[in-house]
Amino acid sequence: MKKFVFAFTAIAAMTGAASAADLAARPYTKAPVAVAPAVNWTGCYVGAGGGGAMTNNDHNETYDATTGVPISSNSNRTSGARGWFGTVQGGCDYQFAGTNWLVGGFADYDFMDVRGDLSIDGTIVPTSTGSQKQDQQWAVGLRVGYLVLPQLLTYVSGGYTQAHWKSTALTSLSFAGGTATLGGATKGGWFIGTGDEYALTSFLPGLFWKTEYRYSEFDRANVTIDYTGYGGPATGYGESQKFREHSVRSELVYRFNWAGPVVAKY
């Protein structure tokens, strides 16, 4: 009986070992990697910053303010102005689902100190000079952008703009101590621009740095010159002006409800 039990036990042990050898080794499986979702730029923002501007004023020297007919044979002249500005801005963007493209609308306001010497060389009115100043400007527009990187946007923009130039005190070399005034004016026009915006979220979630070049062109307009201080020609004279402006602006932008990519932690 004991021999039978020993024989049965040995057979069972050999059978189990053979079955275990026939089983395939358990494959090694790696835990799935969580995929970080793409950054979503949809949302609204505010920004503030500053920049520099260069303006050219193409002007006909003098004209009759009543009829609009030129009263000087002088050709067009160009005066330049240079200066700085501060700016505030607000807007909203919409990123198309599953793409790197977005569209947005914005508005901004610039408080400016852009100045340039102006020379008026008339044949009927006295030759005069002064310093013309642009003191403010605002714009509304649209932009179309593409995400080169999840944190880097490049875009083009365009829209309507309006700027104001202050009245200018003129001094004439023809009349000792004489002064005159070139009236202030508000002029509307259009602009186009291009720029980029980069996420500084390593410093503060929602913080971005934006830089933009902008070209603005304003409608030609007539501005009255008052020479009553000379005792000669009174009102009724003026200048036809057209302004073209180049500007570069840089801003810090804060985006509300910004959420960057989620990084899985194990």
Phi, psi of 171 (to 5 degrees): -115, 130
pLDDT tens, residue by residue, 111-149: 999 998 887 765 555 677 888 899 999 999 999 999 999
Architecture of the domain spanning 41-255? Beta Barrel (2.40)
Secondary structure in 3-state letters for 122-184 = CCCCCCEEEEEEEEEEEEEEEEEEEEEECCEEEEEEEEEEEEEECCEEEEECCCCCCEEEECC
Structure tokens at 198: 């980069």
Rounded to two decimals, the pTM is 0.76
Residue 208: exposed, middle, or buried by beta-carbon count in 10 A (0-12, 13-18, 19+)?
Answer: buried
Over the stretch 8-55, which tens digit does the pLDDT of each residue have? Answer: 444 444 445 444 445 455 555 555 544 444 578 999 999 999 999 999
Domain locations in the chain?
Answer: 41-255
